[in-house]
Structure 1
């Protein structure tokens, strides 16, 4: 019988049982004999699947071969885990999934996979051999035997946190007891997840996945396992899950409700399509890389290794325009690098940042750039928010309305009004403090080449001369600046950009250390605030000689 593209032998006594056999062998004769010394009987996939799932791999799941449990199979954990394995659809065909159960034996607690359910994507000698090798191993996992942590399943059970590796050769032999066997069996990608009983919140065992591919992102596999476990009232950490398997405490729920209220109030007041909350993603899993086992975030992606990530999963959000719902869904599964993203810059500065066009950023700086393009989102304003009670730090992110007359860009007055609304809303609730709103960081097409408006000066964060030349305004315009009854005249190079103009006005009027505001009167006879090079450029579009009124606080 030809299954999974390989030669399989079927037990003549039962047509739905398959025993391991293959036309290809990488083992010696004695090893093959060991494999078949006790035949492995598997049930073929029985769950009907459709859509894209039909292109994925379903598992051949083991029969229960522990005689003493047969009478109680429908009531015990074996039955529930077997049901989980039957629901899994995985990307890899050369895959082994097995369950390690924690059992109390006398005064000790043992972790074993003997007589426990397992599944194979394809029943070949390599996977069968590794399975039999696993059955011979037992770990002491009670707290008095920490020295038994010589393999991921034992560590995962103790820590109650996942462990994974894109290639298990990244482990040192002392950290993976079966490493040599796994490599000989052509197994590389590795994932081990703790399994909790949803009713008791107790960790009852570990699900282990091994596959031939060197996986750089286990998000899909983790989600598949989590969904299948849920059908049996079991659970395991999710991808980008901000919370722990246990329910968050009551105080935190109250805190998150307050943040949601702030987001909703601001969006409704300013007709914004989307607002969401970001925070540093806690280290909730372990990864083996470069022969070191390090803590990392819960994205299960090699892109996040060694980085401090920000996540919006399980945090408050408000979608006012359903056209941006797909963008919100993409944000839930995407982590941002704290050191590169404009969201992270607001957190680091404990202040505010504004990006005129997120779609102009590079994918490295903003991995969600393509999602923003598809949803029609451009301008984005972020602000730091601190919870005084729990000492939690958040960044609130607001996107400008779609199809706006100014192309989705926020004017300075609108931005100022938005900040004032935020201030008022945060003041109306207790336990929160808004970040420094007197300094807004303006993010350009390259985050490393961003500029910051602070009180009365524009500070460049890089020595690059490209920025100055990019923002430079024609070395022919003149400015007359007035402060109360005093006035000064300025000409190039001081009028070439906002930074030069501001610095010279501060110097000439002796305003060092004071907050300076400069305004000009437009054709409609309204006073317009100048805060950046673009404002100055717009002012010069109307006239080459500009009169500016200066104000200080």
Structure 2
């Protein structure tokens, strides 16, 4: 590593010590060399896949020769990214990042590195999906174009605000977890380790309501466990699923719950789609207008899909009995003698329990007005472990200001924070943006006071 470029966030003796140790080391990356995988950098170079861990103590010493030095230098999080020349599409180096805190997710950092390298005609993994360096598969691209046409047609005919496609993430990285190096999907989040995840990245979507771009972006930046939510149920059953109000699901069941609330999305329908020739599995997810009260329009939507997916298209639509989730989230499987998804929906009206759309509209309007008027000072009572502190702030100052105040008050410098609030259903909801903070204050704050829970790593 001698003479290779490097940078430090702060100048201190510990970082200098680790850098000096790195300069005295070299690793063979020849593919025929049996011991070429003894260091993370060598493994990343040879495999062309990123490797990371929230804490270097997760490594076995034989897998990370500099582990002892890193621990001595008070370093925890570790990330190694392959760097490719965009012209020859070969790995030309490895970029290592070490952190003083135990990181859970590196998505932001990875994306920033990707953007910076791109200006120099170099490529590195993106924050939420590892980029493909192969020539695009013409057959697969043709299938994706067909799916986009299906989504667009359905949205235009039925005035749907948003439709998108989910599939099992095909990209992987390597993560050191509990003293073992295991494959993980490429979201750089420990919540994905050891799981099969679904992603919308690089898959077709169609948006009629332009105000829903933030929600679409949130979906593309988040991987879902294959067992979670409507799309997970649909993939496993190869059928379809309808939920009248996804915001009534728990955060564990539907991690995008607070994003759906912020964008006033409720009714959702998902259905399985299979590409027969390519043997690829997809889930088409449609968000319905908020005034949908019964399954009538859903039945019409399924009929439209069937008309636009003939046998000659190379796709097969899921035809298993539909699962309907009512507001209390008790699943009901609609069983009928017909194998038609549309017929299943036509017979399922009695199973649906939808909130009164008029009352829902009034409640949303009231909350929106309250959010727009948040200019006064708010007192937040923050709980961290067994400690509690009160912090005065203005919502207009944003989430970053509040987090800095929390770091200072609880003396958590160098830690990564997660602030959560308890919603009306008693679920702890993550505050991930300024909009989330405004929503939390507007919906759960009383007399300019709000209770928050702080978790730190």
TM class by smaller structure: 0.7 to 0.9
Which of these residues, 425, 435, 450, is aligned with residue 331 of structure 2?
450
Corresponding residue number in structure 2 for 1:52:
none
**Aligned equivalents of 1:258, 1:514: Cα separation in 2:** 22
**Aligned equivalents of 2:227, 2:113: Cα separation in 1:** 32
Corresponding residue number in structure 1 for 2:398:
none
Query: Is 1:315 equivalent to 2:203 in the alignment?
Result: yes
Q: 1:113-192 residue pairs with structure 2 within 5 A?
A: 113-192=1-80
TM-score, normalised by the number of residues in structure 2: 0.73
Secondary structure at the counterpart of residue 133 of structure 1:
helix
Give the structure, 1 or 2, with the largest relative contact order (CA under 8 Å, sep 6 or more). Answer: 2
**Aligned equivalents of 1:391, 1:351: Cα separation in 2:** 16
**Aligned equivalents of 2:167, 2:328: Cα separation in 1:** 23
Q: 1:186 to 1:383 in 2, by over 3 A?
A: same
**Aligned equivalents of 1:182, 1:268: Cα separation in 2:** 56
Which of these residues, 143, 146, 167, is aligned with residue 255 of structure 1?
143
Unaligned runs of 5+ in 1: 1-112, 458-512, 520-527, 539-553
CA apart distance, 1:391: 1.0
Q: 1:518 to 1:336 in 2, by over 3 A?
A: closer
Corresponding residue number in structure 2 for 1:440:
322
Q: Deviations over 1:461-498 (max 9, x none)?
A: xxxxxxxxxxxxxxxxxxxxxxxxxxxxxxxxxxxxxx
Q: 1:135 to 1:535 in 2, by over 3 A?
A: closer
- Contact 2:27 2:42 (C-alpha < 8 Å) held by counterparts: yes
Q: 1:214 to 1:231 in 2, by over 3 A?
A: same
**Aligned equivalents of 2:350, 2:310: Cα separation in 1:** 29
Q: Deviations over 1:216-254 (max 9, x none)?
A: 111111011101010001011112226523342222221
| Greater C-alpha Rg | 1
Corresponding residue number in structure 1 for 2:132:
244
Q: 1:514 to 1:412 in 2, by over 3 A?
A: closer
Q: 1:242 to 1:349 in 2, by over 3 A?
A: farther
Corresponding residue number in structure 2 for 1:267:
155
Corresponding residue number in structure 1 for 2:299:
416
Q: 1:32-43 residue pairs with structure 2 within 5 A?
A: none
Unaligned runs of 5+ in 2: 357-457
Q: Deviations over 1:356-375 (max 9, x none)?
A: 10111111111111111111
TM-score, normalised by the number of residues in structure 1: 0.61
Q: Deviations over 1:443-473 (max 9, x none)?
A: 24576x422112159xxxxxxxxxxxxxxxx
Q: 1:60-459 residue pairs with structure 2 within 5 A?
A: 113-241=1-129, 243-402=131-290, 404=291, 409-427=292-310, 430-436=313-319, 438-444=320-326, 449-455=330-336
**Aligned equivalents of 1:124, 1:283: Cα separation in 2:** 37
Q: 1:213 to 1:530 in 2, by over 3 A?
A: closer
- Contact 1:453 1:531 (C-alpha < 8 Å) held by counterparts: no
**Aligned equivalents of 1:121, 1:433: Cα separation in 2:** 53
Q: Deviations over 1:84-109 (max 9, x none)?
A: xxxxxxxxxxxxxxxxxxxxxxxxxx
- Contact 1:236 1:245 (C-alpha < 8 Å) held by counterparts: no
**Aligned equivalents of 2:84, 2:316: Cα separation in 1:** 37
Secondary structure at the counterpart of residue 309 of structure 2:
helix
- Contact 2:197 2:225 (C-alpha < 8 Å) held by counterparts: yes
CA apart distance, 1:342: 1.3
**Aligned equivalents of 1:301, 1:241: Cα separation in 2:** 12
- Contact 1:283 1:295 (C-alpha < 8 Å) held by counterparts: no
Q: 1:289 to 1:518 in 2, by over 3 A?
A: closer
CA apart distance, 1:340: 2.2
**Aligned Cα RMSD in Å?**
2.5
Corresponding residue number in structure 1 for 2:350:
532
- Contact 2:294 2:349 (C-alpha < 8 Å) held by counterparts: no
